């Protein structure tokens, strides 16, 4: 990739965050308040009202939601980005991977705030920092690549089937419940759980919980497999965007 496009991605990310901050009274405080409210909702429903009685449920839920929301917002924003920029790409020649990348980076900056908040909450709960925190680096990197991969794939299809935007939020909602974010997958029979573990998000959230709650190193073999899947999908998504670029330009307004 040429340095020039990297400059464009970084400055666009800054512009995106800055414009978003300017669009409300509380500005970037919303980056924390909004997900915190979302977490509070799940906490109220599942911990207080439904009394999901599993030990450590609150940290279990918070870690799951934090890592899930990063993926979810990256996919829903990144997935829309090329479709939203169709007018622009009729005017100028750009590598279109720029647009989902900007959205994902902007969501990553916001995620950084929430991750910091999560760590503070966990420490307050008595889950102390430990040496396995080092493994957070690969886990975060792999989740970033996987998020970008799914966003690229959705983003590549969206201009052809803009109707997808009505479906994507619902699909993500279902995937969330199937990814062990709110309910532990441990309660299901092992042969069924094996199928669920094919979902990279399950593996990533499991790793995050191992590290943050139990001071355990993640399952490196499983993480390696997820890395390969993520890289393959990422390459496929980038290729599809490249390949369909001449067709996006011709889509009716």
Partner 1 sequence: MSEPIIELRNVGVAFNAQLRMGAPQFWALEDVNLVLPRGARMGVVGRNGAGKSTLLRVIAGILAPDRGRVRREGVSCQLLSLALGFVPYLSGRDNAILSGLMLGLRRREIERRLPAILDFSELGDFFEQPVSSYSTGMFMRLGFSVAMQVEPDVLLIDEVLSVGDTEFQKKSGDALRERIHNGTTVVFVSHMDAPIKQVCDCAVWIEHGRSVMQGPVDEVLAAYHAAAPAVAEAAQ
Beta-carbon count within 10 A of 59 CB? 18
Q: Is 93 in the site for partner 1 (CB under 8 A)?
A: yes
- Choices 72-80, 92-100, 107-115, 194-202 (CB under 8 A): range interacting with partner 1: 92-100
CB of 187 to partner 1, least distance (A): 44
CB of 252 to partner 1, least distance (A): 6
> Which residues does 161 contact at the CB level (< 8 Å), separation at least 6?
none
Q: Which of 1, 7, 141, 242 binds partner 1 (CB under 8 A)?
A: 7
- Choices 50-58, 82-90, 133-141, 167-175 (CB under 8 A): range interacting with partner 1: 82-90
Q: Is 250 in the site for partner 1 (CB under 8 A)?
A: yes
Q: Which of 18, 27, 120, 171 binds partner 1 (CB under 8 A)?
A: 18
- Binding to partner 1 by CB under 8 A, coded x per residue (else -) over 203-232, reads ------------------------------
* b/e per residue 15-30 (b: at least 16 CB within 10 A): ebbeeeeeeeeeebeb
Q: With respect to partner 1, which residue has the nearer C-beta, 24 or 41? A: 24
Q: Is 45 in the site for partner 1 (CB under 8 A)?
A: no
Phi, psi of 102 (to 5 degrees): -60, -45
CB of 152 to partner 1, least distance (A): 20
Total residues interacting with partner 1, rule: CB under 8 A:
24
For residue 14, how many C-alpha atoms fall within 13 Å in the half-sphere facing its CB?
Answer: 6
Q: Is 246 in the site for partner 1 (CB under 8 A)?
A: yes
Which long-range CB contacts under 8 A does 112-119 form with residues at least 24 apart? 113/28, 113/31, 113/32, 114/31, 114/32, 114/35, 114/36, 114/66, 114/69, 114/70, 115/66, 117/32, 117/36, 118/62, 118/63, 118/66, 118/212, 119/212
- C-beta of residue 158 within 8 angstroms of C-beta of residue 166: no
Report helix, strand or coil for 216.
coil
Q: Which of 94, 164, 168, 240 binds partner 1 (CB under 8 A)?
A: 94
Which spans of this chain sit near partner 1 (rule: CB under 8 A)? 3-4, 7-8, 11-12, 15, 18-19, 22-23, 88-94, 162, 246, 249-252
């Amino acid at each position: 990739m040429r340095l020039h496009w990297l400059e464009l991605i970084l400055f666009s990310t800054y512009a995106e965050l800055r414009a978003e901050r300017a669009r409300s009274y509380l500005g970037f405080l919303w980056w924390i308040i909004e997900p915190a409210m979302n977490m509070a909702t799940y906490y109220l429903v599942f911990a207080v009202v439904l009394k999901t009685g599993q030990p450590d449920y609150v940290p279990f839920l918070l870690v799951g939601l934090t890592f899930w929301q990063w993926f979810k917002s990256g996919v829903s924003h990144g997935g829309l980005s090329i479709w939203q920029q169709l007018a622009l790409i009729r005017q100028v020649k750009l590598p279109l991977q720029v647009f989902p990348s900007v959205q994902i980076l902007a969501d990553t900056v916001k995620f950084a705030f929430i991750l910091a908040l999560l760590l503070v909450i966990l420490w307050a709960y008595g889950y102390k920092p430990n040496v396995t925190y080092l493994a957070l680096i690969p886990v975060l990197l792999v989740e970033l690549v996987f998020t970008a991969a799914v966003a690229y794939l959705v983003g590549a299809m969206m201009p052809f089937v803009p109707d997808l935007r009505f479906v994507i939020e619902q699909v993500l909602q279902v995937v969330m419940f199937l990814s062990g974010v709110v309910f532990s997958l441990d309660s299901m029979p092992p042969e069924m759980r094996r199928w669920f573990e094919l979902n990279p998000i399950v593996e990533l959230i499991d790793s995050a919980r191992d590290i943050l709650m139990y001071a355990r190193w993640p399952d490196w073999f499983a993480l390696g497999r997820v890395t390969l899947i993520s890289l393959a999908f990422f390459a496929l998504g980038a290729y599809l965007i490249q390949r369909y670029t001449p067709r996006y330009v011709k889509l009716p307004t």
